[in-house]
Copies of this chain bind each other. A is one copy, B any other.
Amino acid sequence: MTTGRLETFADGVFAIAATLLILNVDAHIGNASDSVAHDLLTGWSSYAAYVLSFLTIGIIWVNHHTVMTQIERADRTFLFITVGFLMSVAFIPFPTRLMAEYLTDDFANARAATITYGITLAVTAAWFNAVWLYASRSRRLLREDADETLVAGITRSFRPGVPIYLGATLVGMVSPLASFILYTLIATFYVVESSIFARPRRRSRDERS
């Protein structure tokens, strides 16, 4: 299978999952009371959850592209691992809605929402690891000219994903708001680190040359 069609399908799922997030904002705000202005000003958890999840899916999209630049071909096992990975990306709008709606609710519901969110992201990170490890183990599906340093760098940078999200989820047992802030910091740190600091710069320069 050419990876081209795989990328079209994956980009479709990423784009739809990200764009569907607005339906959550829609469902949460503007119906609650008689005053639209009041609802808009107090509905911060909806905007925050929207921004967080859109950004997270955006990061996944950027990383998926980086990964796919190193992969040349796909076998059926790889396709089905990708389906599992996309299944978990497409799930993200659901815990996003829970968090939008219940982060400002009582403690038990806020906790249930943030824990579900954290588990979803941890599972997504695990699937993404599986996608990459299956393709890169013994260079199974990699391009002939895949750069050894970059390949090792991707493997290394994927490793902390699952434990970090599980850690933030555990924090959610005690303080839902703290775990929400942690999810946001993780995404923000990732964007800043990978786009401003030197190492990724060099990496993307490698890609170009």
Is A198 an interface position by the 8 A CB rule?
no
Is A83 an interface position by the 8 A CB rule?
yes
Given contacts A50-B91, A55-B83, A101-B30, contact A19 B17 (CB under 8 A): yes
Given contacts A21-B90, A22-B91, A62-B80, contact A73 B11 (CB under 8 A): no
What residue of chain B has the Cβ atom nearest to residue A1's Cβ? B65
CB pair B208–A73 under 8 Å, yes or no, is: yes
Q: How large is the interface on A (under 10, 10 to 19, 20 to 34, 35 or more residues)?
A: 35 or more
Is A140 an interface position by the 8 A CB rule?
no
What residue of chain B has the Cβ atom nearest to residue A193's Cβ? B76
CB pair A80–B35 under 8 Å, yes or no, is: no
Which residues between 1 and 43 of chain A lie within 8 Å of chain B, taking CB atoms?
1, 5, 7-9, 11-23, 25-26, 29-30, 35-37, 40
CB pair A94–B25 under 8 Å, yes or no, is: yes
CB pair B11–A76 under 8 Å, yes or no, is: no
| Chain B residues within 8 Å of A204, by CB | 1, 75-76
- Docked pose: A150 CA to B59 CA in angstroms: 32
What residue of chain B has the Cβ atom nearest to residue A68's Cβ? B5
Q: Mask for A47-79, Cβ within 8 A of B = 1, else 0?
A: 000110011001101100110010001011101
Is A98 an interface position by the 8 A CB rule?
yes
Is A154 an interface position by the 8 A CB rule?
no
CB pair B26–A112 under 8 Å, yes or no, is: no
Given contacts A19-B17, A87-B54, contact A61 B113 (CB under 8 A): no
| Chain B residues within 8 Å of A147, by CB | none
Expressed in whole angstroms, the minimum distance between the Cβ of A45 and any Cβ of chain B is 14
9 contacts between A and B (CB under 8 A): A12-B15, A13-B15, A20-B20, A20-B23, A35-B109, A35-B112, A37-B112, A62-B83, A75-B204
